[in-house]
Amino acid sequence: MNIHIKGGRLLDPANGLDVAKDVYVCGADVASIGEAPAGFNADRTIDASGLIVCPGLVDLAARLREPGQEYRATLDSETVAAVAGGITSLACPPDTEPPLDEPGLVEMLKYRARSRNLVQVYPVGALTQAFEGRKLTEMSELGEAGCVAFSQGDAPLPDARVLLRAMQYAATIGYPVWLRPQDPNLAAGGVAHDGEVATRLGLPTIPAVAETAAVSTILLLVRETGARVHLCRLSSADAIDMVRQAKSIGLDVSCDVSVNHVHLCDLDIAYFDSNCHLIPPLRGQRDRDAIRAGLLDGTIDAICSDHTPLDDDDKQLPFAEAEPGATGLELLLPLALKWVNETGVSLVDALACLTTAPARLLGLSVGRLDAGARADMCIFDPAMRWRVDSSQLRSQGYNTPFTGHELEGKVLYTIVGGQIVYE
């Protein structure tokens, strides 16, 4: 199909472009920008005046809940939610039931996701069998089945010896290791940041040192092994500082944050709002400021949704007993725009954290919008206001700390491989 996207504001972070230009899509690819290619006949013209046209978002962490947790969400519901959020590629963590530690599970997931023909799904494989932290998974086999990286998800990190060997092995066969840094002993039993809020509410804590102790170990092991490591969901100012220093001495590490942590801090827990029970815990205002600073100076590479669909039964419990996590696929873009509006960061730079940077971390050529690029695109109205509530969200999980908030920015069209998959 030939699509003419007319009159929009084109944002291409990969090329630093923010211009008013038309986009012409031929088949699966972008045929040209600005001028129609010779002999172009549009089958479909999209009037994008007043709208922003950008590469489709690439989300580094979205739980689709298959296999094993279909009562919480399904590929059907979540792939629709993804494209409704303008997301065209996503990585799903291995924390399914069972975890993605066998090639057959990964192949099935890839097959079932492909048959939906919506968002591109890139599974992250389990780093150790059954997340037990003892035996390595068959990373070569899992890689051939479609895994793009290996991770413990939110399961406890293995001890330092197993971690060292897992990193050596992954480096041998050329895969990155994605780790959410948290010392399992220092975090044991905790549910909230060790700050004034947890002190007042009497909640068991996960101190920031649980994160920095793990970052410190991981960075030393990166130096030792030369493995490519991506640190997932950093939450503390000190950990971000450590990554900043590591990058400054040339260590090959990258990191991301969840979009929730760009906006919220432990004060938002208020009177035990279990929607604010997240992993990692929401930390102090100083930490949230450090996350924003880290995004600005490039220490933090990407922002992800950390999408975790849960049902009401998971959340309507005392804070510590509630399941951690929040829905995010459809909030990723509007919450990034909220960050733009609040801080004055440029839209191109903000979108880079949602498109070009995560695409690079996944080793994908998407996340750009120039002639010859794959036509994965998102077209959104940056000014459209909407209120977050369950009736507005397509994800089966609608619990989020932002319930009831009014946000700006709504996706109107999502195009994957030249096909309009959402409008």
Active site residues per annotation = 306
Asked whether position 195 contacts other proteins by CB under 8 A, the answer is yes
Look at the alpha carbons of 296, 299, 301, 302 in this order and tell me if their dihedral is positive or negative. Answer: negative
CB atoms within 10 A of CB 240: 26
Q: Which is nearer to other proteins, 20 or 270 (CB)?
A: 270
Phi-psi sector, 178: left (phi>0), alpha (psi -120 to 50), beta: beta
Structure tokens at 6: 């007319």
Asked whether position 194 contacts other proteins by CB under 8 A, the answer is yes
Q: Which is nearer to other proteins, 85 or 284 (CB)?
A: 284
Q: How far apart are CA 154 and CA 280, in angstroms?
A: 9
CB atoms within 10 A of CB 232: 28
Q: Determine which residue in the list 199, 285, 365, 392 makes contact with other proteins, applying CB under 8 A.
A: 199
Q: Determine which residue in the list 43, 200, 250, 344 makes contact with other proteins, applying CB under 8 A.
A: 200
Q: Assess contact for 149 and 176: CB atoms under 8 A.
A: yes
Q: Assess contact for 176 and 229: CB atoms under 8 A.
A: yes
Please count the residues of this chain forming the interface with other proteins, following the rule CB under 8 A.
24
Structure tokens at 53: 């046209």
Asked whether position 39 contacts other proteins by CB under 8 A, the answer is no
Structure tokens at 117: 């023909």
List of E strands, 343-404: 377-387
**What's the min distance (Å) between Cβ of 198 and other proteins?**
7
Q: Which is nearer to other proteins, 49 or 199 (CB)?
A: 199
Q: Which is nearer to other proteins, 123 or 207 (CB)?
A: 207
Asked whether position 273 contacts other proteins by CB under 8 A, the answer is yes
Asked whether position 66 contacts other proteins by CB under 8 A, the answer is no
Q: Determine which residue in the list 20, 160, 296, 317 makes contact with other proteins, applying CB under 8 A.
A: 317
Q: Length of the chain in residues, anyone?
A: 423
Q: How far apart are CA 265 and CA 287, in angstroms?
A: 8
Asked whether position 117 contacts other proteins by CB under 8 A, the answer is no
Q: Which is nearer to other proteins, 40 or 272 (CB)?
A: 272
Asked whether position 321 contacts other proteins by CB under 8 A, the answer is yes
Residues engaged in binding other proteins (CB under 8 A): 194-196, 198-205, 207, 270-274, 313, 316-321
